[in-house]
Structure 1
Amino acid sequence: MGLPDHHLTEGERVVLSFHPHWKRLILPVLAVIVLLAACVAAFLFIPGGEPYTSYVRIGVAVVAVILLIWWALVPYLRWVTTSYTLTTHRFNISTGILNKSDDDIPLAKVNSVSSDQRLLERILGCGTLVVESASDAGEIKLADIPSIQTVRAELFRLVEDASDGEIDGR
């Protein structure tokens, strides 16, 4: 997870590396449960002994597999392949299942760091991180950041160190 060591510059080290919060997986898990219950119900209610029974069961299974891939596997793969890495020099955002996209925000270009949490997010310890930078992107909002206060404090500390010309408080 995060940046491999060979992608780091000289003197750069990884401070934090994480995926989005696990709450993104709640709906896919619920989709799997509902889909399995619907398949069991469909197989129980399809009359047995009819000439078309096997075709209907195969059709139900095919639809279930397609929906399982669409509703559960794709969101899971999006979650697994999204990573955030905070180093002593930059904040890296990596996304993509088949195609990969990497965005780097140099800490020296960050103007402000803020966070936003709704009630449920406060209970779960996650939130939205807002990073304002002096780049073309301007303000970047990253939803479902786990341990939001820790990430925000560490990012702010590293931004302050970068603006003072320090690395790791030195």
Structure 2
Amino acid sequence: MAFPEDVLADEEEIVLHLRPHWKAAVAPTVVLLLALTGLIMGWVMLPATEGGRIGLGLVAAIMLYYGGRYGAYPWLAWRCTEYVLTGERLLMQWGVVDRQRRDLPLNRVNDHSLTQSLLDRVLGSGTLTVDSIGDQRVVLAGVPAAQLVQTTLYELIELAPADEEEEAEEQPQRGSSSGRSSR
């Protein structure tokens, strides 16, 4: 799924476009497979009598409920969650039925930290917590290549203020040199 370009500013470019690590989709996929297996076993093993059909309906209802609630919905939530890092901001977008989007300008970021369990370290994922001005906190759970994302975030935060300071310093110098030549 491509990130909508109309969300970005005119000259804003995407640096990283991620979704949560694939490990978040493993459990829902296993639940879906188990629900499908239970449904097939009920269909094969229950007799073709009226009681068997009632039992199969009951098994089907249970498997559909658990497969939908603990399998399909979490898998769709994983699939519909996106983390986008641009040169100016961090965007998070999530939601299956209703979409939610949150923007965090990089110039408002105070601190960012990375938390990794042993499994996260093995898989290269982690939870990135970003704190910003005004006691706002954003938690990006299950970020793939978490150390690379944290390093990239740090570099973008450090580059953004330097660019603004250089532009502010260059403008008075240009004005003063043009003022001298007109005299």
Give the TM-score normalised by the residue count of structure 1: 0.87
CA distance in 2, matches of 1:27, 1:49: 33
CA distance in 1, matches of 2:126, 2:106: 21
- In the alignment, residue 154 of structure 2 is paired with which amino acid? F
Task: Work out which of the two has the higher radius of gyration on C-alpha atoms and give 1 or 2.
Answer: 2
Q: List, as ranges, runs of 4+ consecutive aligned residues in structure 1 with deviation greater than 4 Å.
A: none
Give the SS at the match of 1:135: coil
CA contact (8 A) 1:81 1:96 kept: yes
RMSD: 1.8
Give the TM-score normalised by the residue count of structure 2: 0.82
CA contact (8 A) 1:95 1:101 kept: yes
CA contact (8 A) 2:128 2:143 kept: yes
**Judging changes above 3 Å, is the alpha-carbon distance between structure 1 residues 143 and 55 closer, same or farther for their aligned structure 2 residues?**
same
- In the alignment, residue 32 of structure 1 is paired with which amino acid? L
Give how far 1:42 is off.
3.1
Q: Quote the residue 1:83 is aligned against.
A: 82
CA contact (8 A) 2:29 2:75 kept: no
Give 5+ residue unaligned stretches, structure 1: none
Give how far 1:145 is off.
0.5
Q: Which residue of 139, 142, 145 corresponds with 2:143? A: 145
Residue identity over aligned pairs, in percent, reads: 31
CA contact (8 A) 1:83 1:94 kept: yes
Give how far 1:68 is off.
1.3
Which stretch of the first structure deviates more once superposed, 140-149 or 157-166? 157-166
Q: Quote the residue 1:98 is aligned against.
A: 97
How many residues are treated as equivalent by the alignment?
164
Give 5+ residue unaligned stretches, structure 2: 165-183
Give how far 1:2 is off.
5.8
